[in-house]
Amino acid sequence: MADEQHDPAKERERFSRDAMAHLDRLYTLAYHLAKRPEDAQDILQETYARALAAYKQFTPGTSMKAWLTRILYNFFYDHYAYKKRRLFFEDNLSFENEGAAQWEKTGNNNPGPEEHFLKSELQTQITEALKQLPEKFRVPILLVDMGDLSYAEAAEILCCPVGTIRSRLSRSRRLLYKQLKDYVIDESKGDREK
């Protein structure tokens, strides 16, 4: 029985299964870093290849999501961004994969035409707003707000103090609010305007 628990093939299989649970979030991060679905898939594939090769270095009981995110982030900035640095963002981004995944998660697989249009329009506006943010403000939003990492995990990944993460997030959120204020419902004004 003890031999089964320390069987390297079974440990690797269990690690692989647990790591796959974070696939959607990591793809979203890779997509927002790379700006193209094909590049995001390449980054994600390399992230999982590196994670599987180093699975024994993962400490059980710690956050696998944070560990995988750090691998993805380090790969992107150490190798991928260096080779594929872009001066301009691409205009034609596709949200088909991300949008479909979001509809499946919410259980609304058959939205009405108005709801589908509004959701698509909002996704486009959010992505455009994120593209306008300087990288030092965009990445903390991707890690904390979209990636569900803690401030401490994001600080560890970015190798900076937690206070810096808090400050950048605050500034990022204000910048995003300015760009998306037409899409935000301000409930505090609702009663005063009547």
Does 86 share its domain with 166?
no
Q: What is the pLDDT of residue 50?
A: 93
- Token pair, residue 59, equals 């400490």
Same domain, 82 and 103: no
Q: What is the domain-level CATH number for residue 180?
A: 1.10.10.10
Q: What is the DSSP string of 16-79?
A: HHHHHTTHHHHHHHHHHHHSSHHHHHHHHHHHHHHHHHTGGGS-TTS-HHHHHHHHHHHHIIII
Contacts of 86 (CB under 8 A, 6+ apart): 35
pLDDT tens for the chain, 194 residues: list them: 444 457 878 888 889 899 999 999 899 888 888 878 888 899 999 999 999 999 889 988 899 999 999 999 888 877 765 554 443 333 333 343 444 444 444 444 555 666 656 667 777 888 888 888 888 888 888 888 888 888 998 888 888 899 999 999 999 999 888 888 877 665 555 444 43
For residues 142 and 119, state if they share a domain: no
Q: What is the pLDDT of residue 102?
A: 45
> What is the structure's pLDDT at 117?
64
Q: Are residues 120 and 80 in the same domain?
A: no
Task: Mark whether 108 and 149 lie in a shared domain.
Answer: no
- Residue numbers of the domain that contains 46: 1-90
**83 in the same domain as 119:** no
Instruction: Tell me: do 140 and 167 sit in the same domain.
Output: yes
Both 142 and 83 in one domain: the answer is: no
Q: Is the dihedral of CA 130, 135, 137, 143 positive or negative?
A: positive
Check whether residue 78 and residue 140 sit in a common domain.
Answer: no
